[in-house]
Amino acid sequence: MPEIGGYSLFTLLAICLAGVGCLFHVIGLSVVYWIVLDPFVSGVGTGLWQSCAYGSCQSYPSRPDYLKATQAFVIIGLLAGVGGLVLSVISLLKKQKIICMMAGVACFAAAGCILIAIIVFGAENTLITERTQYGWGFILCILSIFPFVPAGALNLLETKHTS
C-alpha cells in the first residue's frame, strides 16, 4: 500500500479530490451565473437564489417546482460532499474500514445529488433561448461532480487495506 508520511496515498488523494469538488460546488451554487445573457457581458445572470442585471439583484418572489428541486439537490449534494470530505479526513486518522466506506458512499451521494440537480435544472428550465446560455456557475457545478467520483472510489479502495 503506497504511503506518504505514514498516511495512505488513496486517502490523501480522496481528501484532495473531495476538497476540490466541495470548492467548485460551493462557488457554483452560490453565484448568479447559471444562465447568462451574454458570456462576455458581466452583471447579467440568473442563479438558483436570485437574478441580477447591471448591479441590481432580486430574489425570486415565487419559485417553480423544478427550481425548488434543484435547490434541494444542490444543498443535499453539498452536505454529502462536505460529509465525504470530513469522513475522509477522519479515516486518514482512525484507519477504520467503516469510516472509509461511509466516506466513499458520501462522495458518491454528493456526485449523484449534484447530477440530479443539473439534470432537473437543464431539463425543466425555460429561460434558455437563442439569446441566453448556461453560465459558468452551472458549468462549475457540473465540474464538481468529477472529483467526487474518484474520491468515492479511492475511499472504497482504501477499505481493502484497513481493518
pLDDT in tens, 26-69: 999 998 888 888 766 667 888 889 988 887 889 888 888 999 99
pTM (2 d.p.):
0.89
Domain 3-161 has CATH 1.20.140.150: yes
**Nearest CA among 105, 113, 35 for reference residue 74:** 113
**Nearest CA among 49, 28, 16 for reference residue 143:** 28
**Nearest CA among 121, 105, 111 for reference residue 77:** 111
Residue 15 has pLDDT above 80, yes or no: yes
Point out the least confidently predicted range of 18-22, 84-88, 159-163: 159-163
Q: Where are the domains of the chain?
A: 3-161
Grade residue 104 by pLDDT with cuts at 50, 70 and 90: very high
What's the chain's length in residues?
163
Taking all residues of the chain, what is their mean pLDDT, rounded to a whole number? 89
Give the number of other Cβ atoms within 10 Å of residue 82's Cβ. 18
